[in-house]
Structure 1
Amino acid sequence: MVVIEGSYGQCQDCYKCIRFCPLKAIRISQGQAEIIAEECINCGLCTRICPQQAKELVDQWSVFQTWLEKKEEIVVSLAPSYLGLQQEPYALVATLYKLGIKRVEEAAWVVPEVSAHYWQSEHLAPALTSACPALVNLIQKYYPSLVKNLVPVLSPMLVHGRSLKQRYPEAKVVYIDSCPAKKVECFQFTEVDLALTYQEIFSGFKKLGLAVEELEPVQPDVTGTATARLFSTESGWRESRSETELSGKLWVVDGFNECLQFLDALQDGHVDGQWAELMICKGGCLGGAGWNDQDPYYVRQSRLLTRVATHQTTSRPSWTAVEMQREFVATPYQPQPVTEAEINQVLISNGRLHPSEQLDCGACGYNTCREKAIAVARGKAELEMCIPYMRARAESLSNIIIENTPNGIIVTDCDLNILAVNPAAERIFNCRGQDYLNKNVEHLFDSSNYKLVKSQGRLISDIVYYPQYSKITKQLIFPVKRPNVIVGIFLDITKEQQQTQELAKLKEETLAKANEVIENQMRVAQEVASLLGETTAETQILLSRLIKLIEQEDSSFTDGLEVG
């Protein structure tokens, strides 16, 4: 079971979770972080530090609500840490009763019995307390040789759950605490049916419209002793034993990195003593990931200590013994083996093969470039996670584009001093860019447009003729706020302009020639028409005479016939 869910679309490549997680139990795939179940110990602390809330604890409130709606018999076990809540702890108890919970007890009630069983059990020195499930997961996966040092006793949650099941066999047992890893422990055993965090329980109350602060505080049915109520703190087990009992060296270690350092030293034989009380979260359960506030653990601890001193305890029923013994089995994590050649290939791809190139900046989340290269070879990380590499790559691409673009580029600072001139600009303005660096752009050409951009802070597009260079340029000049520079992009359109002018001249000459041809044609047409007119008139006269002559001859012939 994994207790961390990801809203992976919200992940923004900050790698903060990888930097925070000492085990690096996180995979980056296509820029999104995801938990690696076989490597994770389910402390849930990465959910507290994600700035984008891209990771969250599994919410099982719906299961609890379903039981309420079905009128299931429910008994609640409250972790000792509940006395560190921002809200009045006994008001939480009152709210649970209002929901119809049959019975509410403090798990601190069983702490003296568990603590005594610790003392009586057979164990190797130094014996490691086994109440913190995240610590147990850590040792089983990453320190299998130390499993034998874990005290073979059930946690107070499981012991109390077993007691409740013994007394209320038909009831659902629900444990409320700040620890997400308790959910996994609950999943592995049958003594507790459901483990909820304070975050889940108060979020659920809000969904139901319940205002905890408005209810009259009510004590639980059963409470623990004052010392037992300290069990959730970083030295809770020590507080439950006498100084005489703890004669001999006792180590108290809280915090993820601190536990790793202690276990490394213990594994290497550098630590002795009789007992070691270890808790993964800083401040013990008061620093767990499942709290419903963002307070530091010492603020919660202050509240808890005050309430331990002021909140009365109830009478406690007589203890009926339950079996507390348990066996721990190593489940070692076996990382994927990688070869030196694979590691070197990744380092080469990132430009980090030589030791002098390995910055070990930690921006990717890994402590060293080599550690990150191993993660890439195992498919847990991506080349692009290396920020110096990506920056160099981006700068290289930018330089390639600037150096090879056919457009001239001239960059100035806010005082119009030249910062960069690319090769295309050198060709356009017939200059060596290096000769003009840190000089005012006025030394190269008229800077009127640059001055306008500086004063108005807007893009200017223009076509400008530079007679000293016999060049015509189309230019875009614009400001860049960061890093406060002015960029000019110049397109040499001299040939195009010349071609345009030549084309215009050709059109003009063509039009003139066309007009001349038209005039000639009109003149010829007129002359032809004139000649045609004269010829037509003469022809008409001639034909008229011919017709008249024929008519006269016909008349004379007819007259002769009549006479004869």
Structure 2
Amino acid sequence: MNTKPIYTIENDCMDCYKCIRNCPSKAIKITEQKASIIDELCIYCGRCVSVCPANAKQIRDGVSRVKQLIKSGTTTIASVAPSFRSEFPHFTDEEFITQLTNLGFNYISETALGAQIVTGHTEQFLKARNKGVYISSACPGVVELIKKYYPQHVVNIIPFLSPMLAHAKSLKANGGKDTKIVFIGPCIAKKAEADNWPSLVDTAITFNELKEWINESDKPETNSKGKTIDFYPERATNGNIYPIEGGMINTFGKGTNNLLKLSFAGIDEVKKVLNTLNTIQHDGPVFLELLLCEGGCINGPGCSEDNNPVQRKIEILNSKPKENTTKKENPILLNIECDYFGQNAVILPDYKPEDIQEALYSIGKHSPKDELNCGSCGYNTCREFAMATLSGMAETNMCVSHLKKIAHHQATLLLKKIPSGVILVDSDLNIKEINQSCLNMLQLQNNFDSQHINSDLVNKSINELGYFTEHFTTAIHTGKEYNQLPVVQNGKSFQLSIFNIQKYKLVAGIIQNFENKEFRSDIIEKRTRIVIKKNMETVQKIAALLGENASFTDSLLNSILTDYSEENSNHLNTDSESHA
């Protein structure tokens, strides 16, 4: 069973590094080309889950735990985040309560009640401050980010429980400490927060998990006629608007002394704020509502992605009562004080310049101009990637530009070593590649210096070669392929094979001269297999990362090997017949 809020199904990982590119804390480690999440570095923003094209990043299942709690017979209360109205707009409040009651919950309560408690405490706290910067504790992702990466700002977090925890404490105060609390909301980070506070919240599930649970449930709808269907123990008021950006600060009343209230949402914006927190200047206290998700909790990673963002916000705003009804209890009476000290912050290693330089050398970065900073490895810069390799978070073969160079050099060397002639021709009938064996076979070595093949012949028309023009033209224009075709050109006998690399765009030709007995020996097949074995792993890696631009190498080599095998078999049969 997976115990962490987010985990990787390693067999499904496609080695694309998209999770690293999108991870704000670079909490992804690559081992043997498979990504895994380092929990100590993770802030549970859920970006890796959202962007993974193979669905290899998964959120820990919480429904199984909830079913066990309900089955145990203990009073179980669902604490539902106020963003449920934007996620389940097709349900009225009464219908939504009925759905959850049918699943087995004894009571359905709004987490917004806890938000109202937090607002009340926060207002009283800020009224007693004349200066300073204070950060809301409502977003667990922001709290994780600060504790792990900005520990100097832990002192700035408002010293109160989050709305989820405050609500759970209130429910347990009313129903008894044995009451089981299940949080249902849009947030993955709430799973980690619940793990850290097991005495208050028994488990947390996302809206997406709830949807799947409702869809798979075959329990008939309960007849609600004559019954009062409402939230326990009362309906929330202003706390309903917490899920949208600026929602919390809009629940504040008037009378705070020169208080400046600001809201920022989105990881990038939040990090900018934290990076410049010490430079804030204001005559009075500054309260910052920081939310990890852009637009607020209505866009959390535990929500569906197909809803209208405008309509989401409308649903939340419409849920706020026009008048602030009188609360049944004074939320200040509940003690929700806490501090956020004590967690070990992430300590980034400080590498020596020479160590970083050596790591850069290992990926072919010998000067600043070699540092492309292309981001294909998932890191923003080559230097950042080099440090990741030093820390063991990354592997050198993640650098695509370096692998591309290696593959190019190895493919070039391979073409030189292959005794068959090899020609690559594009859709314009221009030669894109030709090896020295081909020049020797066609006796063109005097016309084209092996040291200057690229400048002398590459990108020139196949017509200038003086051989096989009609065959390559037909192959390009019609997509036709030739397999071991006997060809006589300029008084010489050859065997020609042409196959498509990209149909109508790029073809490869393999030429053999049977007058040379070297080509009839089985040593060729053995030699080719050895060379391919040494080089194919790199070539296949490039093919996977770069697609069709590099994948032709694999096809080319395997075709050559097949030709050798068939040719040797044919020659052995011919030799046997002649001896007979």
**Match of residue 179, structure 2, among 171, 179, 190:** 171
Cα drift, residue 230 of structure 1? 0.5
Q: Aligned-pair distance for 1:159?
A: 1.3
Partner of 2:335 in structure 1? 323
Indicate if the aligned counterparts of 1:95 and 1:215 stay in contact, CA closer than 8 A. no
2:152 to 145, 150, 160: 145
The match for 1:493 is 514
CA 1:410–1:498 in 2, change beyond 3 Å: closer, same or farther? closer
Name the counterpart of 2:299: 287
Establish whether residue 228 from structure 1 lines up as the match of residue 242 from structure 2: no
Equivalent AA in structure 2 for residue 70 of structure 1: S
Cα 1:426–1:37 shift into 2, 3 Å: same
Q: Which moved more, 1:251-260 or 1:300-309?
A: 300-309
CA contact (8 A) 2:194 2:201 kept: yes
| Distance in structure 2 (CA, Å) of the matches to 1:436 and 1:158 | 70
What letter is aligned with 1:477? I
Deviations 1:425-459 (A, max 9, x none): 11011222525852243751253433443354232
Q: Does 1:180 align with 2:202?
A: no
Measure how far apart 1:21 and its partner are.
1.4
Partner SS, residue 308 of structure 1:
coil
Q: Deviation at 1:494? A: 0.9
- One of 112, 116, 127 as aligned partner of 1:112: 116
Deviation at 1:178, TM superposition (A): 0.9
TM-score by length of 2: 0.79
Which residue of structure 1 lines up, in the alignment, with residue 250 of structure 2? 239
Contact 2:478 2:504 in 1 (8 A): no
Q: Please say which of residues 457-466 and 183-192 is displaced more in the overlay.
A: 457-466
Q: How much has 1:355 moved relative to structure 2?
A: 0.9
Contact 2:512 2:519 in 1 (8 A): no
The residue aligned with 1:333 is: 346
For the structure 1 residues 187 and 249, does the alpha-carbon distance in structure 2 shift closer, same or farther, using more than 3 Å as the test?
Answer: same
Counterpart CA distance in 1 for 2:324 and 2:211 is: 24
- CA pair 357-212 structure 1, distance change in 2 beyond 3 A: farther
Residue equivalent to 1:75: 77
Residue equivalent to 1:15? 17
Query: Structure 2: which amino acid aligns with 1:258?
Result: E
> Residue in 2 aligned with 1:475?
496
Does the CA contact (< 8 Å) of 2:468 and 2:489 recur in 1? no
- Say which of 81, 97, 100 aligns to 1:96: 100
Q: What corresponds to 1:429 in structure 2?
A: 442
1:303 aligned onto 2:310: no
How far 1:341 moved relative to its partner? Answer: 2.4
Q: Write out aligned runs for 1:367-378 (5 A).
A: 367-378=380-391
1:497–1:176 CA distance, 2 compared to 1 (3 A): closer
Asked if 2 retains the 8 angstrom alpha-carbon contact of 1:108 and 1:156, the reply is: yes
Letter in 1 for 2:217: L
Distance change >3 Å, CA 112–CA 424, structure 1 → 2: same
Letter in 2 for 1:178: P
**Contact kept? 1:409, 1:421, Cα under 8 Å:** yes
The one-letter code sitting in structure 2 at the alignment partner of 1:438 is: K
Indicate if the aligned counterparts of 2:29 and 2:36 stay in contact, CA closer than 8 A: yes
CA gap of 1:446–1:384, structure 2 versus 1, over 3 A, is: closer
Matched residues in 2 for 1:93 and 1:498: separation? 80
Identity of aligned residues (%): 27
**Corresponding position: 1:259 with 2:270:** yes
Change (3 A) 1:436 1:186: closer
Displacement of 1:113: 2.8
The alignment covers a number of residue pairs equal to 504
Cα distance change on mapping 1:303 and 1:417 into 2, 3 Å: same
Correspondence for 1:457: 479
Distance apart, 1:307 and its partner CA: 3.6
Q: Is the 8 A contact 2:102 2:222 kept in 1?
A: no
Q: Secondary structure at the match of 2:516?
A: helix
What amino acid maps onto 2:300 in structure 1?
A: G
How many Å separate the matches in 2 of 1:437 and 1:235?
61
Tell me the SS of whatever aligns to 2:320: helix
Aligned residue for 1:56, secondary structure, equals strand
State the distance in 1 between where 2:419 and 2:281 align: 69
1-side partners of 2:75 and 2:501: how far apart?
67
| CA distance in 2: counterparts of 1:114 and 1:40, whole angstroms | 26
Contact 1:10/1:52 (<8 A) preserved: yes
Q: Secondary structure at the residue paired with 1:209?
A: coil
Question: What is residue 398 of structure 1 aligned with on the other side?
Answer: 411
After TM superposition, the structure 1 stretch with the greater mean CA deviation from structure 2, 221-230 or 353-362, is: 221-230
Q: Secondary structure of the residue that 1:236 maps to in structure 2?
A: coil
Contact 2:479 2:504 in 1 (8 A): no
Aligned to 2:63: 61
> 1: CA distance between counterparts of 2:100 and 2:414?
66
Per the alignment, do residues 366 and 271 of structure 1 end up closer, same or farther by CA in structure 2, a change over 3 Å counting?
A: farther
- Does the CA-based 8 Å contact 2:157-2:340 persist in structure 1? yes
Alpha-carbon distance in structure 2 between the residues aligned to 1:49 and 1:213: 39
The one-letter code sitting in structure 2 at the alignment partner of 1:61 is: V
Task: Please list the CA deviations of residues 507-563 of structure 1 after superposition, one character each: whole Å capped at 9, or x if unmatched.
Answer: 99x99xxxxxxxxxxxxxxxxxxxxxxxxxxxxxxxxxxxxxxxxxxxxxxxxxxxx
- Cα separation, partners in 2 of 1:291 and 1:436, compared to 1, 3 Å: closer
| Alpha-carbon shift at residue 389 of structure 1 (Å) | 1.5
Residues 293 and 162 of structure 1: CA distance in aligned 2, closer, same or farther (over 3 Å): same
Aligned residue in 2 for 1:134? 141
SS at match of 1:117: helix
Task: Specify the code of the residue in structure 1 equivalent to 2:426.
Answer: D
1:464-494 deviation digits (Å, cap 9, x = unpaired): 45463x5332221122216812221111211
Q: Does the 8 Å CA contact 2:476/2:507 hold for their aligned counterparts?
A: yes
More off after superposition, 492-501 vs 34-43? 492-501
**1:223 to partner: Cα distance:** 4.7
- What amino acid is the match of 2:361? I
| Aligned counterparts of 2:213 and 2:8: Cα–Cα separation in 1 | 20
TM-aligned CA distance change 1:79 to 1:409, over 3 Å: same
- 1:47 maps to which residue? 49
Instruction: Give the AA of the match of 2:123.
Output: W
Contact 1:42 1:180 in 2 (8 A): yes
> Structure 1: any 5+ residue segments left out of the alignment?
512-564
What SS does the aligned partner of 2:276 have? helix
C-alpha contact (below 8 Å) 1:2/1:42 kept by paired residues: no
Return 370-379 or 36-45, whichever deviates more.
36-45
- In the TM superposition, residue 100 of structure 1 has moved relative to its aligned partner by 3.2
Conserved in 2, the CA contact under 8 Å of 1:255 and 1:279?
Answer: yes
User: What amino acid is the match of 1:208?
Assistant: S
Q: Secondary structure at the match of 1:462?
A: strand
1:202 aligned to 2:216?
A: no
Moved more, 372-381 or 392-401: 392-401
**Which residue type is aligned with residue 363 of structure 1?**
S
- How far apart in 1 are the matches of 2:267 and 2:236? 29
Residues 384, 390 of structure 1: 8 Å contact kept: yes
1:250 paired residue number: 261
Query: Residue 308 and residue 249 in structure 1: after superposition, are their counterparts in 2 closer, same or farther (change >3 A)?
Result: closer
- Residue 353 of structure 1: aligned partner: 366
How far residue 460 of structure 1 moved from its aligned partner, in angstroms, is: 0.9
Pairwise CA distance, 1:135: 0.9
Post-superposition shift, 1:347? 0.7
Q: Which residue of 1 aligns with 2:528?
A: none
180-189 vs 329-338, greater mean Cα deviation: 329-338
C-alpha spacing 1:58/1:298, structure 2 compared with 1 (3 Å): farther
2-structure distance, mates of 1:142, 1:9: 31
RMSD over aligned CA atoms reads: 3.2
Give, in whole Å, the separation in 1 of the partners of 2:76 and 2:205.
13
Report the Cα offset of residue 127 of structure 1: 0.8
User: Is the CA contact (8 Å cut-off) linking 1:223 and 1:313 kept in structure 2?
Assistant: no
Q: 1:262 is paired with a residue of what secondary structure?
A: helix
